[in-house]
Amino acid sequence: MTPWLPDRFLPGFESLELEFPDDYDGRVLATLVRLPYGGEAPRGAVLFVHGFIDYFFQRHLAERFAMEGYAFYALDLRKHGRSLRPHQHPNFCKNIAEYYPDITRAIDVIGEPVLLAGHSTGGLICSLYAHDGPHREQVRALWLNSPFFDWNMPDWRRAQLHMAAALGRFFPFLNDAKALLPDYAQALLEQGWEFDTTLKPIAGFPVYYGWLGAIADAHAKV
């Protein structure tokens, strides 16, 4: 296994690349990030999983968990943030279960049961992993922040999404490059949040119809 290295995006943190077998996009990896914790963490470990068009940059979150006695780890899922490679479709999956190996390997590296923490789409992924993931017995508890359990939009818009999701089952890489408004990411910057806009672009990435299908299936399973 490659060694922990100083993280390129968060001074004081370390990161570790996790390699996986190739998938339909080719080479695949995920990135585990940690805030080094001196000594033994009295409350154990927490593993944080980000949302859609996102990556781990929330220093204050790690520091607060550390203050509360946790060893803090975060995962940049495959095709997101630190783990995204030029040959890949950004932030894409055909099935939420594609992320299970990332979480499983991270838990193996951490080496103890974890409090599994998820934001937005990460909350959806973590919830399903805690239900049927390979290391679900190693999940001590769930900590969810705005979990993405449903489409938050009018019925007419939902109908459009379901039509796109159905089309995505046959043409997964069809996409809408302007599906996401820049308002949310721009507001974060204006409020003082700091993140790398190459990893989390203000205008987002294209929303792939195949991804919509994966999310619709995950919502139904929840």
Q: What is the pLDDT of residues 208-222, one digit of tens each?
A: 999 999 999 999 999
The pLDDT tens digits of the residues spanning 61-76 come to 999 999 999 999 999 9
Q: How does residue 31 score in pLDDT terms, banded at 50, 70 and 90?
A: very high
Q: How far apart are the first and last CA of the chain?
A: 34
pLDDT per position as a tens digit, 134-167? 999 999 999 999 999 999 888 888 888 889 999 9
Q: Tell me which of 10-14, 56-60, 62-66, 187-191 is least confident.
A: 187-191
Q: CB within 8 A of 117, min separation 6: which ones?
A: 46, 47, 48, 49, 126, 142, 143, 144, 145
pLDDT of residue 155: 83
DSSP codes of every residue in 113-132: -EEEEEETHHHHHHHHHHHH
Confidence of residue 197 (pLDDT cuts 50, 70, 90): very high
The Cα 2–Cα 66 span in angstroms is 25
> What residue spans of the chain are helical by DSSP H?
59-67, 100-110, 121-132, 155-168, 183-190, 209-221
Strands 207-208, 175-176: pairing is: antiparallel
Please name the amino acid found at residue 198.
T
Q: Judge whether residue 38 has pLDDT over 90.
A: no
Residue 102 to residues 6, 64, 82, 174, Cα–Cα distance (Å): 20, 24, 13, 25
Dihedral sign for Cα 120, 125, 131, 137, please: negative
Length of the chain: 222
Average pLDDT over residues 166-194: 90
How many other β-carbons are positioned within 10 Å of the β-carbon of residue 64?
12
Q: Region 188-193: what's the mean pLDDT?
A: 88
Q: Which residues contact 143 (CB under 8 A, 6 or more apart)?
A: 46, 115, 116, 117, 118
Provide mean pLDDT across the span 114-137: 98
Mean residue pLDDT across the chain: 95
Residue 2 has pLDDT above 80, yes or no: no
Report the percentage of the chain scoring pLDDT > 70. 99
CA–CA separation, 29 vs 46, rounded Å? Answer: 21
Amino acid 220: pLDDT: 95
Q: Is 82 helix (H, G, I), strand (E, B) or coil?
A: helix
Residue with tokens 């077998």: 21
Q: Record the pTM.
A: 0.95
Rounded CA-CA distance 40/44 in Å is: 8
pLDDT at 1: 57
Any bridge partners for residue 75, and if so which? 32, 49
